[in-house]
Chain A
Amino acid sequence: MLRKPIQRVVLGLAVGLSSGLPAMAQTDAEKAIDRYRELVADGNPAELWEAKGEDLWKKKRGPKNASLEKCDLGLGPGVVKGAYVSLPRYFDDVKKVQDLETRLVSCMDQHQGIKAKVANYDRDDHKDVISLVAWIASESRGMPVNVPQSHPEEKRMYEVGKRVFFYRAGPYDFACATCHAADNTRIRLQGLPNLTNNEPAGKAFTSWPAYRVSNSQLWPMQKRLEDCFRQQRFPYVEFGSDVTIALSSYMGVTGKGVKSLAPTIKR
């Protein structure tokens, strides 16, 4: 006879607790996550890739036995500082908008005669691209994002990126905007940045390349965007696909002026 009321009391308590908890748990959990981030950021293994990348940039390699020191990343031949925060941009020699990763592939071809095999992540020449990206990004640390919009192709890429960002498709009828177009949202404990706003877009744009603690891999932006498409159950994008560069342009232009963080460290 006594059982029923007790059950009801317990149930009532549980409901009361669960409706009161999330707000509190969120702040505590986020504090703990911030503390964790602070701890792992000291001694970011991305530095190991940076060291390799610097070496690769200066080393004479390939059939032409040349270094990449004449490679034009958009600010003139051999200028590395500030290049990362001003890409993607239009390059006249290839008549295309390129991001850092695809630009490096062009440079390896033009200057070193290396026909880079980059189709697979962290295989063949893609290993070199990752290291180079890590070093080049580190040379722009703290500099404000300044992705150019002066060439019509650059403007077009931005517009395409914006459309792709809001384009709903796939078995889940998903878009980037489904998760990244509102403030103060999260998936479980993971805060979701609103990439239509200046600061979160700039932070996201300059957070890659990042070292991922969970799998000990260094992920450049292309790999991160490929994973976004996977998470949306879209078809896989190939390395250097225009859609990735368009999305980079959209994020970079939206995040104008935000100070670069890359290479970062992620869970």
Chain B
Amino acid sequence: MADPMRIRARAADGVVDARVLMAHEMETGIRKDSAGKLIPAWFIQEVVCQLNGKPVMTAQWGPSISKNPFLQFKAKGKAGDKITVTWVDNKGEKRTDEATVA
């Protein structure tokens, strides 16, 4: 199972500023290991961010995103809203985490 994300979200003037830190290897598929063999690609392909169950942002990612990615975005909302972030990687592995907007 993938490690949990860290989600911090703060509301000011009707806008939620969300910061998400994900734990993921994000292998590009072009790196080689110490034995000279290709390390297979393994990266997050899709990110869906929801506020109170309603999608506010989706992103399609590729191998150029760094290891342990950091994502920041803004959406209309208020304190107490529930923020949910889900990612799916190219192996089909999934992780969803939830936080409350402060």
Tell me the A residues contacting B by CB distance below 8 Å: 42-43, 45, 47-48, 51-52, 216
Does B59 interact with chain A (Cβ within 8 Å)?
Answer: no
Q: Mark B57-83, 1 if CB is under 8 A from A, else 0.
A: 000000000111010100000000000
Does B29 interact with chain A (Cβ within 8 Å)?
Answer: no
With contacts A47-B6, A48-B23, A51-B4 taken as known, whether A216 is within 8 angstroms of B67 at the C-beta atoms is yes
Docked Cα-Cα span, A216 to B65, in Å, equals 13
B67 touches A43 (CB 8 A): no
Docked Cα-Cα span, A123 to B43, in Å, equals 22
Tell me the B residues contacting A by CB distance below 8 Å: 3-4, 6, 19, 21, 23, 66-68, 70, 72
B3 touches A43 (CB 8 A): no
Docked Cα-Cα span, A99 to B102, in Å, equals 37
Docked Cα-Cα span, A52 to B4, in Å, equals 9
Nearest Cβ on chain B to A3's Cβ, whole angstroms: 49
B3 touches A216 (CB 8 A): no
Docked Cα-Cα span, A42 to B19, in Å, equals 9
B3 touches A48 (CB 8 A): yes
Docked Cα-Cα span, A52 to B68, in Å, equals 14
A45 touches B3 (CB 8 A): no
B19 touches A45 (CB 8 A): no
List 4 additional A-B contacts (Cβ < 8 Å) besides A42-B19, A48-B68, A51-B4.
Answer: A43-B21, A43-B70, A48-B3, A216-B68
Cβ contacts A to B, 23 pairs, < 8 Å: A42-B19, A43-B19, A43-B21, A43-B70, A43-B72, A45-B21, A45-B23, A45-B68, A45-B70, A47-B6, A47-B21, A48-B3, A48-B6, A48-B21, A48-B23, A48-B68, A51-B3, A51-B4, A51-B6, A52-B3, A216-B66, A216-B67, A216-B68
For the complex of A and B, 5 pairs with smallest distance between CB atoms: A43-B70, A45-B68, A216-B67, A48-B23, A47-B6
